[in-house]
Chain A
Amino acid sequence: ELKVEQNPLFLSMQEGKNYTIYCNYSTTSDRLYWYRQDPGKSLESLFVLLSNGAVKQEGRLMASLDTKARLSTLHITAAVHDLSATYFCAVDPGNQFYFGTGTSLTVIP
């Protein structure tokens, strides 16, 4: 069965600090997605990574994809409180989407 693992599951970080969330998956997939979910809300698409070596940045978030290592990272630079949310990665090996367990991020002032 395909597995998508994120770590850490919970992350508490101070404002201004940097950190990386990791997403490992167990099957071949050349596309990977990152989503954000605020408590009680729906999912918001952050990044779509479509090929090996893809890197995308939006504000303080940067995502990358290494399909050979089956690894994606979501790097947070100089965290601010507004980034507090749960972050999910998802892979699409072919017509289905498999989501990671989610990383709950809390940014402390």
Chain B
Amino acid sequence: DSGVTQTPKHLITATGQRVTLRCSPRSGDLSVYWYQQSLDQGLQFLIQYYNGEERAKGNILERFSAQQFPDLHSELNLSSLELGDSALYFCASSVQGGRDSYEQYFGPGTRLTVT
């Protein structure tokens, strides 16, 4: 158990809908990262937050957005869902962000199925 929690574990929804994935980092970790894993595109970095502020952005679609709250939990919002958004979404946390970040601890993931 990495200490990173993600909810829900599974999510099934229809195209065009909007969902919110939630992540709680390990106690004391200030940085949260979001990743998408699919068979087509492998593991892709989406976005990173550090202590409430966006730190880095990767291959995140405009239909997706994220935020980190004062209690350091983070939410990833996916809207206007398409079949191709079906994937496993991981959250990870680390003590610091940027070049000082070393090891990341991954949550169990949320499996999103869009029908």
Contact = CB atoms under 8 A, between A and B. Distances in A.
A42 B2 contact: yes
Contacts, number: 50
Interface of B: 2, 33, 35, 42-45, 48, 55-56, 58, 90, 92, 97-99, 101-109
A43 B6 CA distance: 14
Interface of A: 31, 33, 35, 41-45, 48, 50, 88, 90, 92, 94-99, 101-102
Nearest to A46: B103
Given A42-B109, A43-B90, A97-B35, 9 more contacts: A35-B106, A42-B108, A45-B106, A92-B101, A95-B48, A95-B97, A96-B45, A97-B104, A101-B42
B18 to A, nearest CB: 25
